[in-house]
Structure 1
Amino acid sequence: MVQRKCKRSVKAKAHRIAKRIKLEEVEGQVNLLDLPLGPLHMIILKVHPEKQQFLRSASNKLKIEHSDCMLHSFKLFANDHLRERHRSVEQQMIHNVMTVLTQSTDYFVNSGYDAIFTGRLIYFYKQLATGEEDLDIAQMHKFLHEFYNNLERTPVERPSEAAARISLNQRRLIGTMTLLNLLRQFRNYRIVSSCMNLMHWQLQFELTGIYFGVREREANTRDQDKLVDFLTIIAELLVFDKSQIYEKRYTEIGNSFYVYGIKKPSTLSARSPKLTLKLSILAPLSVRSMIEDVLNGQVDMGRPVHCPLVDTFSIQLDVVSRQVSLWNGNNHMEICIAPLN
């Protein structure tokens, strides 16, 4: 009798051990991607921002899920703020920043560059969502500048000269569309001229009351650096314009030093500062039509932008400003946005 009890006890113990080992084996096979999307996204949002980078680097699938989670959460947050009607001064500033931020990135995000956007969004979103720090324009400036810089370092999936060229044209076309979409939202914006000249579409714009000057440390600053700087500055100036902030900023970015700002509308005169932008575009009719739709506010920012395969494509931008007082820098900057094929 005692022997039977001992045998049963040994069998029961062995069964429990085997069951525990089996459970441990099953638990060892479970990973985050086995979870439903809801719980997975909840876990991702609970992870500290510094640790979220580890999630993104763990696997390509987890990086995609993290990007989807961050983008979805950010859009919900942005939509909530953009729908608010009665706002305090702080809420109005967040509203203006969110408006300009989405206008500065949506063409890229919806054209396949969402992973780059969400990779930079981790810290910025936490700050917005928790309100741990006061949001200011400088933080948006930093975010956009890093985002645009990372776009330029985007690796080509199938490296080749042709693929690299297609990728470059795609980014630069979207960058041009983003710039024009921002410019048209300034209160004192106007199209001065639009005409064809030797196959090139010549566009000229003016922003009245805008200060702009640049002093470069190096004579040969790369065009992509100048484009990134200028896009970021225009976005910041648009927040100034929407928030009615009338001041000058002196900012060091990379190898250049910039001065920019907005003059109060009530003090404008014939001698007031003015920013003139001249675009020269060599591209097929389909591209010119797309850019024209941007100028008219008729492009759906939720749809991806595709640059057609073309033999000849180039975009040149000349920026000229009236000389800023007490500034010994340059009031003229040339940017080759897309060099000729």
Structure 2
Amino acid sequence: MKRRQLCVGDVDEPIAKRTRLQLSKQPLMVRLGILPSGPLHMLFVKLDATTRLSLANASIKLKTEYDDFMLQEYKCFIHHQRSIVNSDVPLPPIISEVLDDAVGLYLSDGYIPSFVSVLPQLFDNRHEVATVSKMQNFLYDFYKKLEEDFTPRRPFQNAAENLQLQQLRLNNLITLLTLLRKFRGFRGIKGEKNLMHWQLGIQVGGIYFSERIKTIDNDADKLIDLTSHLAELLVCDMCGTSYNNLFRSVPERYDIGVHQNNPHTCLELKFSILGTERLYDLIDNVIAGQFEISEVKDWTTMAFSIRLNIKSRRDRKAIAKYWQICILPLNPKLK
């Protein structure tokens, strides 16, 4: 008499065998998604960047785990930079500090997927040594990605999109001011307030930043260039004498540099701000170094506008006319 073949689901089949058979019929990506965070992160470590990203895009669960893994890798990378001590040129620790100032607000405000998507531009593995050029290129790509992800592209915006844009622009402004106030030659000049209108002047001695040829009309792109290159100049400024008299020409676009020993070299910024008293208080706190990230959360329900005029001096003469950036118009509309 022949023995009956056991089928999946028979009561007398061993549970472990039944589980294996059921799992074997599931797609690999689905089975990986069942794994807890620890084993998944160990798997990500073993994979190259391309395979890792393909795996992450297979499901929402895997993408969430991938974002968390990459954020942990970034934190390890930053910790590694801080552990590198070189008395001659303490570059990696300074880069890590500038990076924190340049991206910290965005991370705390939930822009992690955009951040993670460009993180491979900064490092391949957590044990790399950071460079100024990689940092600047990464920041440019990150700010550009934020524009792609959070700036509406439709002719007409709804209220939610306007608030989303305002929140991003407020983060842009605070990040810019945070970087500026770290320069040694920083000097804030409080302007006059007229009803809801405020003129704020800032001077940064020892650095210059000017347009060589006007090649960009888009205000968002100008702001991205300004912020990412200011981060680059800040690293040089914080390094001190090892980076005095730095001069760099960005092809066909800007002249930027650090001349710490020249009293006539300076960058002048004039902000024209239309908003509430609460916005002014927030900016005051940022300039004074008393800013708390929690102050930015969910408060941009009132319309505001910010325009910026920039002029640079190298030696005794201005090297360029004012160039303007509209950080946020009062009624945002796409051009």
TM class by smaller structure: 0.7 to 0.9
Asked whether the 8 Å contact 2:136–2:229 carries over to 1, the reply is yes
Per the alignment, in what secondary structure is the counterpart of residue 126 of structure 1? coil
Asked whether the 8 Å contact 2:196–2:276 carries over to 1, the reply is no
Structure 1 match to 2:67: 67
> AA paired with 1:25?
Q
Structure 2 match to 1:340: 330
1:63-105 deviation line (CA, Å, top 9, x unaligned) = 22211121123224324543x4x71269821111111111101
> AA paired with 1:306?
D
> How far does residue 235 in structure 1 lie from its aligned partner after superposition?
0.7
How far apart, in 2, do the equivalents of 1:264 and 1:308 lie?
A: 38
Structure 1 match to 2:311: 320
Structure 2 match to 1:140: 135
Structure 2 match to 1:291: 283
> How far does residue 259 in structure 1 lie from its aligned partner after superposition?
1.0
Structure 2 match to 1:154: 149
How far apart, in 1, do the equivalents of 2:100 and 2:297 lie?
A: 16
> AA paired with 2:320?
N
Structure 2 match to 1:58: 58
2:104 maps to which of 106, 125, 129: 106
- Give the TM-score normalised by structure 2: 0.84
Structure 1 match to 2:48: 48
Per the alignment, in what secondary structure is the counterpart of residue 112 of structure 1? coil
Asked whether the 8 Å contact 2:307–2:327 carries over to 1, the reply is yes
What stretches of structure 2 of length at least 5 have no aligned partner? none
With over 3 angstroms needed to count, the CA separation of the structure-2 counterparts of 1:135 and 1:331, relative to structure 1, is: farther
> How far does residue 231 in structure 1 lie from its aligned partner after superposition?
0.5
With over 3 angstroms needed to count, the CA separation of the structure-2 counterparts of 1:135 and 1:323, relative to structure 1, is: same
Per the alignment, in what secondary structure is the counterpart of residue 57 of structure 2? helix
1:168-205 deviation line (CA, Å, top 9, x unaligned) = 11111110000101111111111123321352121111
Structure 2 match to 1:177: 174
With over 3 angstroms needed to count, the CA separation of the structure-2 counterparts of 1:59 and 1:24, relative to structure 1, is: same
With over 3 angstroms needed to count, the CA separation of the structure-2 counterparts of 1:179 and 1:151, relative to structure 1, is: same
> AA paired with 1:322?
R
2:204 maps to 1:213? no
> How far does residue 337 in structure 1 lie from its aligned partner after superposition?
0.2
1:282-321 deviation line (CA, Å, top 9, x unaligned) = 11122222221111212234786334211x3100111111
Calculate percent identity across the aligned residue pairs: 32
Structure 2 match to 1:264: 260
With over 3 angstroms needed to count, the CA separation of the structure-2 counterparts of 1:289 and 1:264, relative to structure 1, is: closer
> How far does residue 111 in structure 1 lie from its aligned partner after superposition?
0.8
How far apart, in 1, do the equivalents of 2:55 and 2:295 lie?
A: 28
Larger CA Rg, structure 1 vs 2: 1
Per the alignment, in what secondary structure is the counterpart of residue 154 of structure 1? helix
Per the alignment, in what secondary structure is the counterpart of residue 109 of structure 2? helix
Asked whether the 8 Å contact 2:265–2:316 carries over to 1, the reply is no
Per the alignment, in what secondary structure is the counterpart of residue 230 of structure 1? helix
> How far does residue 119 in structure 1 lie from its aligned partner after superposition?
1.1
> How far does residue 206 in structure 1 lie from its aligned partner after superposition?
0.7
2:164 maps to 1:167? yes
Counterpart mapping for 1:114-129 below 5 A: 114-127=112-125, 129=126
- Give the TM-score normalised by structure 1: 0.83
Q: Which gives a bigger RCO, structure 1 or 2 (Cα 8 Å, sep 6+)?
A: 1
2:272 maps to 1:277? no
1:315-335 deviation line (CA, Å, top 9, x unaligned) = 0111111157999x7342110
The structure in which a higher percent of residues are helix is: 1
> How far does residue 16 in structure 1 lie from its aligned partner after superposition?
9.5
> How far does residue 17 in structure 1 lie from its aligned partner after superposition?
9.6
> How far does residue 146 in structure 1 lie from its aligned partner after superposition?
0.4
Structure 2 match to 1:223: 219
